[in-house]
Amino acid sequence: MIKKMIEEEKVGERNGNPINFAEIELDAPDIGEVAGRYMVTSIPMLLAFSRREAQMDTRVTDVNQMKDKKFLEKWLETEAGRRGDGGSGGSLFGFGGLSKWFGGGGS
């Protein structure tokens, strides 16, 4: 649902800042230490990045919230509205192969 909201419905672009979606398989051999680095405590987990920094304070781990389209729309709009402001985390470029998914910048 979230992928469709981003790619087809263009949720987030209303704030003038397009957002991207990436799905990570934690058992992929080229991922490295993603789970530890980004404190993955449950699967699935939604994590926004702004200025290549993980937004740990706004990550979503509650499956019920992930099923709630209104919640997701508000979350996406809020994260897109950052426009690169804020940030709590480290640079993705110092982290294995993850930059190939997120390295282009933006949210």
Tokens 């672009």 appear where?
13
Whether residue 28 is contained in a domain is answered as yes
Whether residue 103 is contained in a domain is answered as no
* Rounded-to-integer distance, Cα 93 and Cα 96, Å: 7
Q: In this predicted structure, what is the pLDDT of residue 2? A: 87
DSSP, res 58: G
Query: How do 53-54 and 49-50 pair as beta strands?
Result: antiparallel
Query: What total number of domains does the chain contain?
Result: 1
- Using the predicted structure, report yes or no on whether residue 60 has a pLDDT greater than 90: yes
Q: In this predicted structure, what is the pLDDT of residue 84? A: 59
- The residue type of 57 is D
Domain that holds residue 19: 2-96
- Using the predicted structure, report yes or no on whether residue 66 has a pLDDT greater than 60: yes
Whether residue 34 is contained in a domain is answered as yes
